[in-house]
Homo-oligomer: A and B are copies of this chain.
Amino acid sequence: MWNSPRIGVLGGGQLGRMLMESANRHNIQMNILDVENAPAKQISAHDNHVVGSFNDHESVHKLAEISDILTTEIEHVNTFALEEVASEVQVEPSWRAIRIIQNKFEQKNYLSKHRIPMGNYSEVVDNTPEQLANIGQLLGYPFMLKSKTLAYDGRGNYPVKSEADIPAALEILKNRPLYAEKWVYFKKELAVMVVKTKDNVLSYPTVETIGEDSICKLVYAPARGVSGVVDEKAQELARNAVSAFEGKGVFGVEMFLCEDDSVLLCEIASRVHNSGHYTIEGCGLSQFDSHIRAILDLPIPPRSLELRQPSIMLNIVGGATPDAHLKVAELALSIPNTSIHMYSKGAGRPGRKMGHLTVTASTMHEAETIIQPLINLVDDIRAQRSDITVKPQMSGSCSSKPTPTLGVVMGSDSDLKTLIPGLKLLRDYFGIEPAVDITSAHRTPTYMAEYASTAASRGIKVIIAAAGGAAHLPGMVAAHTALPVIGVPVKGSALDGVDSLYSIVQMPRGMWLQLGALRRELRSDLNSNINY
């Protein structure tokens, strides 16, 4: 920074605006190419912005002349103009990456070649009912008909549930270049923000995204009820996918988590992304900070991408009237730990992203409780909109395997042999498949606290906790949740298990009722009033 290269950005919407916030704090000059008074330009008073379109050759050249490095905040830019200026200025990520990614069919072909796991898909060569019927035969129904280009936030997509839907789908999409995707029965949509630097590929944690009306509605960071193994797998897939492309910067990777815990790529964005907004409050560095640092070859400490606290992001979208969405922002003022980001786009239009808010808390359960009134209001405002034809919400609705309602934890894998007869009984006799985990009160106290305090939000109703020796696990789990906890003493090499039995049964009186209410409040400073 400081004597830093000047950054030129194609696009000045909310993503450009949040990039600008970061550039401002780093004192880096950022020139925006977009219409007069675009959101990003409003918070940057210098004279080197360009009025024009990011699709216009001349404007891109003009931006290149006054910048040292170009980047984008939207995929739908003129990559041919970027290719032309690439000899004069650095372009990050490369125009080649953007060109491949902006065509979703080419993106899939390219990532297939790089062995990134994804659902089946097929090109639609002629936009005719006959060809679509053939594709229905090939991929099965339902399938998703998609425009190869200029598709975003659900525009350019049509779910074809059966052959009967084909005429309607073609009616809407016939003039576009199309392809079809096999329907993926996912249990969750996941996303990972990836940072590609000059010599490294880093990732933020795996988050859970919830869409509505084909746009992002909510982001939960970390993804709820997702194991460490899946988190790692999703981050690895995302890093591998991004590694396939040329250039530097932040990429958003959307994925499906399937029934069998396999992870499939959904799509990639060659820019900062809505599913990464939580990073502003949630992480040591925001995705916007990371993008700027990555393209300028400035350091990015990997630890700064870790989550500081569980966070939930909720989009504020336009409603039936130009100011309907402001009700959400107004309510958000009264909700604790809620950061408000309004994009200064003027009057709201139904479905338009007007702002977002992020709730942080020390546990996901607490964040969920805090944000609920805001989600309710968003739902009410959506119900007033006349533009929404309530579409079949097929995706994600086919989850057949029930979420576990019983959690079984043990302090060490050596306890497992004691539990196996019981686990068999649960499965074979009661038909219950519990979620089984290892966490130690002593060796992993923080993870143990997180496990227990988020259990209710994962749908767990009862916890069975097994431990040997000093056996603190059942009691400490109970200290962090209001769920009933059943302790199982495990016999150790000495004392015949009486030690763990005592540790479990000799809990303080009234313990179970006092939880939560007393947890934080009972603090006392005795130093000044002990008489002895």
Q: Is A78 an interface residue (CB 8 A)?
A: no
**Stretch of A85-93, A435-443, A454-462 with 4 or more beta carbons under 8 angstroms from chain B:** A435-443
- Residues on B with beta carbons closer than 8 Å to the beta carbon of A308: 308-309, 337, 360, 362
Q: How far is the CA of A435 from the CA of B505 in the complex (A)?
A: 31
Cβ contacts A1-25/B at 8 Å (1 or 0 each): 1100000000000000000010011
Q: Is A114 an interface residue (CB 8 A)?
A: no
**What does the 1/0 interface line of A421-441 toward B look like (CB < 8 Å)?**
001100000000001111111
- Contact B423 A532, beta carbon cutoff 8 Å: yes
From 481 to 505 in chain A, residues with beta carbon under 8 angstroms from any chain B beta carbon are: 492, 495, 498-500, 502-505
Q: Is A449 an interface residue (CB 8 A)?
A: yes
The chain B residue sitting closest to A17, CB to CB, is B24
Is A342 an interface residue, CB under 8 A from the partner?
yes
Tell me, in angstroms, the Cα distance from A472 to B507 when the chains sit together.
9
Q: Is A161 an interface residue (CB 8 A)?
A: no
The minimal Cβ–Cβ distance linking A452 to chain B, given in whole angstroms, is: 9
Give the complex CA separation of A305 and B433 in angstroms. 42
Q: Closest CB of chain B to A299's CB: distance in Å?
A: 4
Known: A442-B475, A444-B518, A511-B443. A26 touches B340 (CB 8 A): yes
Closest to A45 in B: B45
* CB < 8 Å neighbour of A442 from B27, B337, B471, B479: B479
A511 CA to B443 CA in the complex, in Å?
7
| Cβ of A339 under 8 Å from chain B | yes
Given contacts A303-B336, A472-B476, contact A511 B442 (CB under 8 A): yes
A155 CB, nearest partner CB in chain B, Å: 26
- Whether B523 pairs with A228 at a CB distance below 8 angstroms is yes
User: A133 to nearest B CB, angstroms?
Assistant: 39
**Binary interface encoding of chain A residues 24-48 relative to chain B, with 1 for a CB under 8 A from any of its CBs, else 0:** 1111000000000100011111100
Determine the interface band of chain A, counting residues with CB < 8 A from chain B: 35 or more
- Give, as a whole number of angstroms, the nearest-CB distance from A489 to chain B: 11
Across the interface, which residues of B come within 8 angstroms of A507, CB to CB? 442, 469-470
Once the chains bind, are B443 and A514 in contact (CB under 8 Å)? Answer: yes
Cα–Cα distance between A123 and B125 once the two chains are bound (Å): 90
Binds B, one of A63-71, A164-172, A327-335: A327-335
Max chain B Cβ within 10 angstroms of own Cβ: one of A43, A343, A435, A511: A43
Q: How far is the CA of A436 from the CA of B333 in the complex (A)?
A: 40
Residue of chain B at shortest CB distance from A337? B284
Q: Is A227 interfacial (CB 8 A cutoff)?
A: yes
**Is A526's beta carbon under 8 Å from chain B?**
yes
Question: In the complex the two chains form, is A436's CB within 8 Å of B480's CB?
Answer: no
Does A506 interact with chain B (Cβ within 8 Å)? Answer: yes
B-side contacts of A21, CB under 8 Å: 21, 24
Bound CA–CA A530/B438 (angstroms): 12
A342 & B27 in contact (Cβ 8 Å cutoff): yes
Assuming the contacts A42-B45, A309-B308, asked whether A227 and B342 have C-beta atoms less than 8 A apart, the reply is no
* Interchain CB contact under 8 A, A304 and B340: no
Q: How far, in angstroms, from A244 to B36 measured CA to CA in the complex?
A: 47
Q: Quick check: is A122 within 8 A (CB to CB) of the other chain?
A: no
A343 to B25, CA, bound (A): 7
Which residues does chain B contribute within 8 Å of A505, judged by CB atoms? 470
Q: Does A528 contact B (CB under 8 A)?
A: yes
- What is the minimal beta-carbon distance from A22 to any residue of chain B, in angstroms? 10
In the bound complex, do residue A2 and residue B333 qualify as a contact, i.e. CB atoms below 8 Å apart?
no
Complex: A521 Cα to B44 Cα, angstroms: 43
Residues of B within 8 A of A390 (CB): none
The answer to whether A152 has its CB under 8 Å from any CB of chain B is no
A228 (CB) vs chain B CBs: closest residue: B523
Q: Kindly identify which residue among B37, B45, B227, B504 contacts A43, using a CB–CB cutoff of 8 Å.
A: B45
- Kindly provide the distance from the CB of A528 to the nearest chain B CB, expressed in whole angstroms: 7
Chain B residues contacting A227 (CB-CB under 8 Å) are: 525, 527
Contact of A520 (CB < 8 Å), options: B302, B447, B480, B498: B447
Name A21's closest neighbour in chain B (CB-CB).
B21
Using CB atoms, name the residue of chain B closest to A420: B532
Alpha-carbon gap, A24 to B340, bound state (A): 10
A469's nearest neighbour on chain B, judged by CB, is: B506
A416-B530, A502-B503 known, 10 other contacts, Cβ within 8 Å: A1-B342, A2-B342, A229-B528, A308-B337, A438-B523, A446-B519, A469-B507, A470-B505, A470-B507, A498-B502
**Could you list some 21 contacts between A and B, CB below 8 A?**
A1-B326, A2-B342, A21-B21, A25-B340, A27-B343, A37-B45, A43-B45, A228-B524, A229-B525, A301-B336, A301-B337, A420-B532, A438-B523, A438-B526, A442-B476, A443-B479, A449-B449, A492-B506, A495-B502, A502-B502, A503-B506
- Smallest CB-CB A-B distances: 6 pairs: A227-B525, A284-B337, A303-B336, A499-B502, A301-B336, A469-B506
